[in-house]
Structure 1
Amino acid sequence: MGTSANITLLGVTMDSRLNFLVLMLVISFACANAKSLASLDVFGELFFVQVDNEIQSESHIVRNEKLCTLCKEFASQALYYLGENVTQTQVTDILHKACSKLHSLEQQCITLVDYYAPLFFLEVSKTSPEEFCDKVNLCDSNAQVSLPKHDNACTLCQDILGEVLSKLQDPDTELEVIEILLKGCNKMENFVQKCKKLVFQYGPLILANAEKLLEKTDLCTSIHACKTSQQVAETILASA
């Protein structure tokens, strides 16, 4: 990779990796059904959020080879994080707490979590960064992704979040998510009807909360794409 895209992976904390993972998964979902290069722009931009300060490109065309390499590095970090036992326990605990809010369906929810969470982590352990990046079409040798010019990583990150929020506010997106979840319920054998009931009852609420989370949480600062208010103040004082 060139000096214009030096990836700052060393020293990344577990919390920032988790925030990045959340952002990556949200963007993956937002672009899951996209087929045009324009829609790939949003996903491709994600992998430049943690580059050093400025992204320089005379033609503003980022070849897929560079995106593929960046995708593999970030995917490797995310998959490693999900593979850690501590992480798996934390995820399961969060799901159990969510089940406690379902009142009469709490026990059925916990049963589903205990059964499917290990299967999910097993599938994750079988997935390689190469496979993931192939599935999201970032390692297609014939592909090129056009990226708009951005002054810095912070502006880029904020633009990406704006795109994601726009997707979440689209009623068509909500319907697509509900449809996917309902299809997933068909694989749950004895819990099909209960699963579908949960989807209809809580699906829209979960999506609304996801939108509020992105609006209230400064993810761009959390993943160090943007400076904190303290860092901005220090920069101003230093230049005074």
Structure 2
Amino acid sequence: MGGRIGLLFVLILGVVALACDARGFASPYQLGIIAANSASAELVKIPDVCALCEEYTTKALDYINENKTQSEVIDILHNTCHQLHTFERKCISLVDYYLPLFFLEMTSVQPGDFCNKVNLCQNIANMSLQFQENSCDFCEDTVSKLLDKITDPDTELAIIETLLKVCSSLRKSASKCKRIVLEYGPLVFENAEKFLEKADICTALHACKDSKVVGRGFISQLLSIYYGNNIFMRMVHLLKIALF
């Protein structure tokens, strides 16, 4: 029974949307767009989403609970049932049985409770603050895991083997391609490791706060690690020569 009511609920929402458009009201879809645009605003404005949710939920419930709206919904669903031919009677009986239950259920819905259940009014400000505080830890943890991967010999070997397989498919340039990969591949890993160890990436990305000036220092670290003719770019350049 719960599954049927849920299915009917979805169907009725679609019908109500059509009825709203026909009578010049904002449809639930349009209301959703408004709420989504508000939710994508700056973090400082996020708490307004709760008020918007309660406001538009109230309007939607008032509209659904109108007798005229309910009559329109019943007529539309009955017309839909008429198109099912063999299942017409069964469809009409289901609509006549479950629709009054649905409308009765709607009269007991409270906007505040609904918005809390969909997590639009629960500690939004605290969630925003917690996200800002955790972003630094998340960034540093990600960089640490990436460093572990890069320094793992198995990872390096797997990547080198994949590149060599690609080289093998090049036929005429296969031997030259493999030589470049074997010569410069380990250097790329070595310099990537140095970069992750020395460069304060999370501070540069503003995920972590730091009293030191970031920007030029970060770039100078990058340039000092990838000295002279950048190892990686050098490898790519040689591969292009080998292929073309």
Give the shorter-chain TM-score range. 0.3 to 0.5
Higher alpha-carbon Rg: 2
TM-score (norm 2): 0.39
RCO higher in 1 or 2 (8 Å CA, sep ≥ 6)?
A: 1
